[in-house]
Chain A
Amino acid sequence: MLQVSIYRYNPETDSEPYMQDVQVDTGGKDLMVLDVLELIKSQDTTVTYRRSCREGVCGSDGMNMNGKNGLACITPLSETVRNNKLVLRPLPGLPVVRDLVVDMSMFYAQYEKVQPFLMNDTPAPAIERLQSPEEREKLDGLYECILCACCSSACPSFWWNPDRFIGPSGLLQAYRFLADSRDTATEERLAKLDDPFSVFRCHGIQNCVNVCPKNLNPTRAIGHIRNMLLSRAT
């Protein structure tokens, strides 16, 4: 029997959050954490969490498993369970809506700030804007982000200043468009990132790199942005 401890909070009935202990029969299989949650939900339908694709594509089920953020659907028990114990909490640093569901508005607001779309003021060609294979390659490791918020909610700088520090996820996307050969708004984008908070609150702690379920490296992208700001200023 796996010992699971789940963070429970229903603002309509609970005055404060509490941890609920549940025993789960995994049948000796190395299930994914999401499977365990589904087993629990089949017993107690009030347990609340987000999920959709159940294969690490949609980014809905980011949560904190035994202290580390990740996607429940692609985290096998063998990877996270120690001493037969599994502690599930919502992503840290974001307001809890209910149980494992957090309010992502602050996270999305930062994403919106970086204008995550192609900006190009030259007339659009008849068919499409072309890119060489080398130019396209620069976007690898950037475009794959699924906005699960595992990284930003693991970043201390984002916990303290979620309204002013863009956070690893948003900055990875900022760089994704700075690095795109078809985008002509580089200067405009950089000018918006030069304040002491947006980029420079990153202290290189690398929690983001440590948790990203898609194995992306926001810290490296942040380093590239800093270098672009540096060469723009010198």
Chain B
Amino acid sequence: MVTAVTSMGRSGLYDWMMQRVSAVILLAYFIFVGCVLLNGVDYAAWKALYSQTWMRIFSLLALLSLGLHAWVGLWAVFTDYLTERLMGTTGNVLRFLAQAVSALIMFTYVVWGVQILWGL
């Protein structure tokens, strides 16, 4: 049976809310970045923008939202298609692996993103 042990917050409502909130943050971020790009930026202006603390915080927020959003979304996909119901115990093993791999990828992106943003 598919369990909820790897879901974000154990509560469907919590996951659902996270999904919505992170989507709004991502949308705001991409619209903002899109507008900046459309208005035309050169390297200096781009660097200046990203050296401001608020922009770094906004970017980090977007990055974390992306991680969360991907986690909740992929968890729903994996628990639909990689299940004991569809493929026996292999399903459980595959699902766990898929979740571990996607968690690793998201974690890597977040850490890497922090490095880039703060120029570490």
Binding site for B on A (CB under 8 A): 156-157, 160-161, 163-164, 193-201, 203, 226, 229-230, 233
A194 engages B12 (CB within 8 Å): yes
Contacts of B79 in A (CB 8 A): 160-161
In the complex, the answer to whether A233 meets B13 with C-beta atoms within 8 Å is yes
Are A200 and B13 in contact (CB-based, < 8 A)?
Answer: yes
CB < 8 Å: which of B7, B11, B12, B80 contacts A161?
B80
Q: Is B32 an interface residue (CB 8 A)?
A: no
Are the CB atoms of A196 and B80 closer together than 8 Å? no
Interface secondary structure of B, over-half rule: helix
B26-51 residues with Cβ-Cβ distance < 8 A to A are none
CA distance A161 to B95 in the complex (A): 15
Q: Which residue of A lies closest to B4 (CB)?
A: A196
* Most chain A Cβ neighbours within 10 Å, of B1, B12, B81: B12
A9–chain B nearest beta-carbon distance, Å: 21
Contacts of A230 on B, CB cut-off 8 Å? 13, 17
Least CB distance from B78 to A in Å reads: 11
CA distance A91 to B15 in the complex (A): 31
Cβ contacts under 8 Å, A200 to chain B: 12-13, 15-16
Across the interface, name the chain B residue whose C-beta is closest to A200: B12
Contact A226–B85 (Cβ < 8 Å)? no
22 contacts between A and B (CB under 8 A): A156-B80, A160-B79, A160-B80, A160-B81, A161-B79, A163-B85, A164-B1, A194-B12, A194-B13, A195-B4, A196-B4, A196-B7, A196-B10, A196-B11, A196-B15, A197-B2, A198-B12, A199-B12, A200-B13, A203-B76, A226-B13, A229-B13
A197 to B80, CA, bound (A): 11
- B75: nearest chain-A partner, CB-CB: A196
Find chain A residues with CB under 8 A from B11 CB: 194-196
How many chain B residues touch A (CB < 8 A): the figure is 18
A160 with B13: CB separation less than 8 A: no
Residue of B with least CB distance to A162: B85
Least Cβ–Cβ distance between B82 and chain A, in angstroms: 10
Asked if B111 CB lies within 8 Å of chain A CBs, one says no
Chain B residues closer than 8 Å to A194, beta-carbon distance: 11-13
How many Å lie between the Cα of A203 and that of B4 in the bound state?
Answer: 17
**A1: shortest Cβ distance to chain B, in Å?**
40
Q: Is the CB of A226 within 8 A of B4?
A: no
A226 cross-chain contacts in B, Cβ below 8 A = 13, 16
**Additional pairs, 8, CB under 8 Å, beyond known A156-B80, A197-B12:** A160-B81, A161-B2, A161-B80, A164-B1, A196-B11, A196-B12, A203-B76, A229-B13
Residue of A nearest to B72 (CB): A196
State how many angstroms separate the Cβ of B75 from the closest Cβ of chain A: 8
Q: Which residue of B lies closest to A229 (CB)?
A: B13
- B59 an interface residue at 8 Å Cβ cutoff? no
Q: Known contacts A195-B4, A196-B4, A196-B7; is A160 also within 8 Å of B12 by CB?
A: no
Could you say which residues of chain A place their CB within 8 Å of the CB of B81?
160
Evaluate contact between B2 and A164: CB separation under 8 angstroms: yes
The answer to whether B7 touches A160, judged by C-beta atoms less than 8 angstroms apart, is no
- Please give, as numbers and ranges, the residues of chain B lying within 8 Å of A163 by CB-CB distance: 1, 85
